[in-house]
Homo-oligomer: A and B are copies of this chain.
Amino acid sequence: MGEFLKVLTYQQARDLLNQNFSWAATELLPIEKCGDRLLAQDIISPENIPAFIRSSVDGYAVDCEDTFGSSESLPGMLEHAGEILMGSGSDLTIGSGQCAWIPTGGMLPSGSNAVIMVEYTEKLDDKTILTFRPVGPWENVMQTGEDIATGELVFTRGKRLRPQDIGLLASLGIHEVEVSKQNRVGVISTGNEVIPIQQKPDLGQVRDVNSYAISAAIQSCGAIADVYPIVPDSPAALKDTMARGLTENDLLLVSGGSSVGIADYTLDAMLSFPDSDLLFHGIAMKPGKPTLAVRVGQQLIIGLPGHPVSALMVFHIVCASLLSSFRRQTVQGRLLQNIASQAGRDDFIPVRLIPNEHELTVQPLLGKSGLMNILAQADGFIHIEYEKQGLYNSEMVTVTLF
């Protein structure tokens, strides 16, 4: 394999990863633990909502024919036969010329087929209600099953559950559902120069930023990050850690070791697992060029760049969609300077948003700042597409927010 680089666009890389990554196993969970989880089953309504004919206003339950002809100038007159209470059925029956007080959500008493809103009535005395307009059949009521009918498809597999969706499951009496398990992602930092963050770097050493930044990004996708101790530049140690990582996780992210020189044995180590296959070696994007991916059975090992800014950007742009269907917010703004780019490569550039009086302006962060400071200052990033040679000052651009 060695020299032959399999370079893809970032979309091709992302698609290939998605095609080769299978959803995590599923688990049955009580709905109170399912916020933001992905449904792993279709949800069919087990019952009618509402379960009974229900008033959608505060007013009087009536036989609508008894209100026909009533108006402001010539009100109708009905006998007040009683009250419907919330939270209990009623054995009240409305006879001809009668009505009953009913609150919003109350069950219509038998004999009634509509509700006249309290605003169009007046209580003449305890026994007598005046009606100032007519109501039609089933006006101001919800029919049984009108909201959701028994057997109706409520949600389909793959839906991300929001608070209101969990509320709807609760209202249907569905108290547990099958959801995708949270993915477990192993995080491995490699390199002789990488040291634990608690240590003071000697000259030439760098702290292990990737384990922390990539783990936080994994968690923000709703997955579980499993961080391994730093691996020195040793083929045997790398292979051992990756073997453990594959046993314990659905996906491995290995940062460092994908640039020339060290790249060879990193790739060799990945390809030494049974049923393994190089998906790509290099992405035509900046940052992120030295990214590579190997399929091992049903699992993936993705080799991220060692440079922390590159690693995190590649995670956001190429890897995050494996773990989460969440799409980042975008805003439009006006670019504050020219940016040159190379055609034949997708560029992603961190930017800061500066609101001015009339519009949002977009300041690219192009400094040579090597570490995380440039991303820590950034509100988001812009994308210069593959075929473009740059963007112009004052152009409107789309910013994807971090």
Instruction: Give per-residue flags for A175-215: 1 if the beta carbon is below 8 A from chain B beta carbons, else 0.
Output: 10000000000000001111001111111111111111111
A229 in the interface (beta carbon within 8 A)? no
Cβ-defined partner of A214 (8 Å) among B163, B173, B194, B312: B163
Q: Are A203 and B52 in contact (CB under 8 A)?
A: yes
A188 vs chain B, min Cβ distance (A)? 15
**Chain-B contact segment, one of A122-130, A241-249, A372-380:** A372-380
Q: Are A107 and B167 in contact (CB under 8 A)?
A: no
**Chain-B contact segment, one of A83-91, A274-282, A356-364:** A83-91
A75 in the interface (beta carbon within 8 A)? no
A134 vs chain B, min Cβ distance (A)? 19
Q: Are B89 and A167 in contact (CB under 8 A)?
A: no
Q: Are B402 and A164 in contact (CB under 8 A)?
A: yes
A66 in the interface (beta carbon within 8 A)? no
Bound: A166/B308 CA distance, A = 11
- In the bound complex, residues from chain B placing their C-beta under 8 Å from that of A329 are 329
Give how many A residues have a beta carbon under 8 Å from the other chain's beta carbons.
Answer: 82
**Chain-B contact segment, one of A8-16, A31-39, A334-342, A385-393:** A31-39
Q: Are A204 and B147 in contact (CB under 8 A)?
A: no
Cβ-defined partner of A370 (8 Å) among B56, B86, B208, B402: B56
A219 in the interface (beta carbon within 8 A)? yes
How many copies of this kind of chain does the complex include? 2
Bound: A201/B142 CA distance, A = 17
Instruction: Give per-residue flags for A221-247: 1 if the beta carbon is below 8 A from chain B beta carbons, else 0.
Output: 000000100000000000000000000
A351 vs chain B, min Cβ distance (A)? 13
Cβ-defined partner of A205 (8 Å) among B87, B174, B202: B87
Bound: A107/B329 CA distance, A = 39
Q: Are B370 and A54 in contact (CB under 8 A)?
A: yes
- In the bound complex, residues from chain B placing their C-beta under 8 Å from that of A169 are 212
With A32-B215, A371-B168 as known contacts, state yes or no: A106 contacts B56, CB within 8 Å: no
With A107-B203, A368-B56 as known contacts, state yes or no: A31 contacts B192, CB within 8 Å: no
Q: Are B49 and A167 in contact (CB under 8 A)?
A: no
With A32-B212, A215-B32, A220-B36 as known contacts, state yes or no: A207 contacts B88, CB within 8 Å: no
Bound: A18/B207 CA distance, A = 40
Q: Are A32 and B192 in contact (CB under 8 A)?
A: no
Q: Are B204 and A167 in contact (CB under 8 A)?
A: no
A264 in the interface (beta carbon within 8 A)? no
Q: Are A35 and B219 in contact (CB under 8 A)?
A: yes
Q: Specify which of A207, A217, A376 lies most central, judged by the most chain B CB atoms within 10 Å of its CB.
A: A376
With A32-B212, A35-B220, A198-B175 as known contacts, state yes or no: A167 contacts B87, CB within 8 Å: no
A96 in the interface (beta carbon within 8 A)? no
With A32-B227, A49-B373 as known contacts, state yes or no: A167 contacts B86, CB within 8 Å: no
Instruction: Give per-residue flags for A142-162: 1 if the beta carbon is below 8 A from chain B beta carbons, else 0.
Output: 100011100000110000011
- In the bound complex, residues from chain B placing their C-beta under 8 Å from that of A142 are 368-370
Q: Are A89 and B204 in contact (CB under 8 A)?
A: yes
Bound: A251/B87 CA distance, A = 28
A103 vs chain B, min Cβ distance (A)? 9
With A87-B191, A87-B205, A220-B35 as known contacts, state yes or no: A370 contacts B105, CB within 8 Å: yes
A7 in the interface (beta carbon within 8 A)? no
